[in-house]
Chains A and B, each alone.
Chain A
Amino acid sequence: MKIVFLLLTLIQLSWGADATIEVVKGVEGLANLAIEDSSLQSSDMSHKFSKMLVADMNVISLFNVDESYAMAAFDSPVPSAVHKDAQYLLRYRLNSDGSGGINADIKLLQNGRELFHKSYVLKQSEMLVFLSHTIAYDINAKLGGSPIDWIKRKVLFIRLTSPKHSEIIASDYTLSYQKVILKGGMYGFAKWANREQSDLYFTSLSDFKPTIYKMNLLSGKKEKVISSDGMAVCSDVSEDSKRLLLTLAPEGQPDIYLYDLATGNKNRVTDYSGIDVNGQFMGDGSVAFVSNRLGYPNIFSKQMNSSGISQLVYQGKNNSSLSSYKNFLVYKARESSATFAGNSFNLHLLSLNSGNVKRLTASGENDFPRFSPDGEAILYIKQEGARSSIGLIRFGVNKSFIFPLKMGRIQSIDW
């Protein structure tokens, strides 16, 4: 596995100041965990799996993880010699099922005492990292860690391969598993169509007019949703998956539309003569969006059945993308007035309840923030020259992580 795994920063968030202090104290006192291979024979795959578990155990942030590899008998109550200081042992036993899949047994021991034991079935061995993520999820749940439902989710992203050519890729959150699900055209803004992640929306720019398609992931079947001259983007999907917020531009004018999937009806939400894009459903029924109605891109909101517009963000001079979770917003802000040189784009978190704003990233070009469906984490794109990475920020443990893409540039992400 080639995850390059960097702990970027420990972020002090505003929510619950006392809790933040306790977590920082806790980092110093984390218990030692070692990972041990109990497969019948050590193999490239079982080695690789050890590294995957190390990475995931670091991300769940409940342990001080020993990264050294060792083998040990699955049922032995004592650690291997190199892990004698470990209070916790995570043992795994991988068995090929003879038809491209893997059966796995997992055991978590605390000072020789068994805390957790489970068996898993992986249908395709290439998806090994998802097995690691599932185990991390189960262990975190068992030990009462901060919720990490997002760890098992599939990430969708668009990789730009050459001018006017891109691919839609499904991956895990670390980018170590990647499956091209559509190539041969120019695509943008891939977005999951439902919580189950069985279908997705994307924009095709290879058609005569920009067109939004819905695609079933398993069968690959595509159906046209809507097309528009100029621009057609699915910006957000309602929690019940029945309504979409789209950016369309039938008269060359980008505005936000509410689209009802059952009836096919679309209603124009904004009608400003400049740019209105990136509509997001908010917890109070309103729509938050990016508009340049004050002469620069900033974040505004509007109730569906009212003409009144509210400015939501009063900081930054170029706030051009956002994601929402209930009454929280994360948005991108340009930090300086310089056109290019030394410029940086950082992500900020705004609580609409308290009005508090906190900067989430320290430097560089950070773009395309996306809340996880449970609001516990943010995924975003970090651009460094020609290279893109995916960034992950976890609120529950105040940590962030970066996972680089080996080649190409990421246009959009969703999870």
Chain B
Amino acid sequence: MMKKVAFLSATVAMLVLSGCSSKEPAIDATANANGASIGTNVNTSSTGTDSNAVIAPITNASANDTTTGAAGSAGVNGSDGQLVSILFDYDKFNIREDMQESMTKNTLLVKGKSIKLEGNCDEFGSDEYNFALGLKRANAVKAALVNSGVSADAITMASFGESNPVCLEKTQECWAKNRRVDFKLP
């Protein structure tokens, strides 16, 4: 790779400096309009001489997704009914002391019911790690619920990463509200 890059860079520099004066004048044969395609929807009676003279449409399909019902947006709190979202510190997924009261309240409300826990993060990073952080937060809440007697089979989880904020301002307070686990009833 090093040699390749060095060689190509040197080639570019030489061409640029020389104004390409050493290049033989060359004329490409005019491409066959029915020639090979770079896309997905053209005739393929290729002449074999040019593979990129035809630019085909990207798609003819409808973009409307009919197979899925979009999940509803969260309210200010993010959780359903009387349930309260659990907040977390930056880059952390342990349940804070000040969230224990909310956990106790939520546990009483969800016992005997099916529940979906949705992990969320602030806006710093849209990568997989951020999604995983949201999931680990949901998993910490699940472990606490199971410890308090809620059936593990009644709990499902998903992570939304940064894509489901309840607060959109650029403040520490706002980011703190978005690092949370929401309780959703089916």
> Which residues of A pack against B, CB within 8 Å?
15-16, 18-20, 22-23, 25-27, 29-31, 61-62, 87, 103, 110, 113-124, 127, 130-131, 134, 137-138, 142-147, 152, 154, 160, 162-167, 170, 179-186, 188-189, 196, 198, 204-210, 217-222, 229-231, 233, 235, 247, 249, 252-254, 274-275, 277-278, 290, 292, 296-297, 318, 320-321, 326-328, 332, 339-340, 343, 345, 351, 353-354, 365, 367-368, 375, 381, 383, 385-386, 395-398, 409-412
Contact = CB atoms under 8 A, between A and B. Distances in A.
Interface residues of B, number: 88
B129 A277 contact: yes
Contact of A15 (B2, B19, B40, B136): B2
B109 interface: no
B55 A127 contact: yes
Nearest to A217: B59
Interface in B10-64: 10-17, 19-20, 23, 25-28, 30-31, 33, 38-42, 50, 52-64
Interface string B138-158: 110010000000000000111
Given A123-B42, A146-B11, A188-B163, 12 more contacts: A19-B5, A25-B13, A110-B20, A118-B28, A119-B33, A121-B54, A144-B12, A152-B52, A184-B65, A186-B160, A275-B129, A365-B124
Contact of A164 (B65, B74, B136, B170): B74
Contacts of A27: 16
B82 interface: no
Contact of A179 (B58, B131, B157, B161): B58
B6 A16 contact: yes
B71 A186 contact: yes
Interface of B: 1-3, 5-17, 19-20, 23, 25-28, 30-31, 33, 38-42, 50, 52-74, 90-91, 123-133, 135-136, 138-139, 142, 156-166, 168, 170, 172, 175
A247 B128 contact: yes
Contacts of A137: 52
